[in-house]
Amino acid sequence: MAKPRGTVYRTFSALKKDPLGMTGFVLVSIILLLTVLAPWLAPYDPLEVNVYNRLSSPSAEHWLGTDQLGRDVLSRVLFGGQVALKVSLVAISVSMAIGLILGMMAGFGPRWLDRILVISFDTVRSFPTIMFALAIVALTGPSLNTVIGVIIITSIPVYARVVRTQTQALRERDFILAERAMGASTSRILRDHVLPNIAAPLFILASMDVPAVVGMEAGLSFLGLGVSPPTPSWGSILNDGYSYLRNSPWPIIAGGLPLIAVTLGFTFFGESLRDIFDPKLRRKDQ
């Protein structure tokens, strides 16, 4: 098992030379840590209402102030991260898995299947994402599961397209042709040769996809179509803050900052990973 250790080592030594990538990595680590440790770190119960201390500014007791029900904003922000984490984990892994299978089918399967799949990818992608999500939520009613479902449906084409392109490129390579000539089954070729080759691009894609997924969840929750109250989510904190914007700016400031940190962190980190593992993609840009 020397190879994975080598990869990790290589990643870190390359990250050290890339300040932006390192910043991203540190941001991502801090956010993940704060989110996972939220139950221990949060000074208050995020749902605890205190109507006598509504919309207060930051103080020693409440570092980020309180919202319209007197709940501690800092605790809500910390717990809000758990919603974002859950949504990204579930949505990305499911859509990546389905995208992987569909993409391989399109790339390695017969032409007619490829055509049908590509047209369906294009079809799903032709909806502006939020509009599509709204239409679905209009019928099912707001819930976190709907949000996850919508994100999965709209992300599948993103992964499937990348897998398809990579699979097609590999399909014509000599070593694969040789294996086929020797009678290796398609599933074996896909597992042994195609999968290892597309793992890195998929991983990079997933890390670049986190900002979009977190943004989508926050966006829908901001519109009141995601988590149901009183569950805290960065989006719902922003929603509460928007309603009481003229009374206190703190909920909006506090709800927006982690979103900015997550998107910047994952984007910088993802870009850096891409440079390390897929320099081809980058060369034009330099």
Partner 1 sequence: MFAFIIRRGLLSLLILFLAVSLLFGMIHMVPGDPATVMLGPKATPELKAEYSRRMGLDRPLVIQLGRFYAGLARGDLGVDPFSERNVVNIVWEQLPYTMMLVLAAIGGASLLGIPLGCFSAIRRNSLLDRLTAVMSVAFIAIPSFVVALYLLLWLAVKWRWFPAMGAGESGNFSDQAYHLVLPAIALGLGWVGYIARLVRASMLEVMEENHIRTARAFGLSERTIILHYALRIALLPTVTILGLGIGSMLSGALFAEIVFSRPGIGKLLYDAVLTRNYPIVMGSVLVTTGFFVLSTLAADVINAFLDPRLREQRGS
By CB under 8 A, residue 236 contacts partner 1: no
By CB under 8 A, residue 244 contacts partner 1: no
- Contacts of residue 209, defined as CB under 8 A and 6 or more positions apart, other chains included, come to 92, 155, 158
By CB under 8 A, residue 22 contacts partner 1: no
Residues of this chain, 178-197, that bind partner 1 according to CB under 8 A = none
* Secondary structure of residue 219 in the 3-state scheme: helix
By CB under 8 A, residue 266 contacts partner 1: yes
**What are the distances in angstroms from CA 207 to CA 89, 149, 213, 273, 274?**
11, 19, 10, 9, 10
By CB under 8 A, residue 269 contacts partner 1: no
Please give the structure tokens belonging to residue 9. 């080592």
By CB under 8 A, residue 26 contacts partner 1: no
Least distance CB 146 / partner 1 (angstroms)? 9
By CB under 8 A, residue 256 contacts partner 1: yes
How does DSSP classify residue 53?
G
Whether residue 190 contacts residue 104, with contact meaning beta carbons closer than 8 Å, is answered with: yes
Residues of this chain, 109-148, that bind partner 1 according to CB under 8 A = 119-120, 122-124, 126-132, 134-141
Nearer to partner 1, 189 or 240 (CB): 240
How does DSSP classify residue 26?
H
Residue 284: Cβ-neighbour burial (10 angstroms; 0-12, 13-18, 19+):
exposed
By CB under 8 A, residue 225 contacts partner 1: yes
Q: Name the CA dihedral angle for 26, 198, 99, 228, rounded to a multiple of 10 degrees.
A: -10
Whether residue 263 contacts residue 24, with contact meaning beta carbons closer than 8 Å, is answered with: no
Least distance CB 50 / partner 1 (angstroms)? 24
Least distance CB 129 / partner 1 (angstroms)? 5
Q: How many residues bind partner 1 (CB under 8 A)?
A: 48
Which residues in this chain contact partner 1 in the complex, by CB under 8 A? 20, 119-120, 122-124, 126-132, 134-141, 211, 215, 218-219, 222-225, 238, 241-242, 245-246, 249, 252-253, 256, 259-260, 263-264, 266-268, 271, 284-285
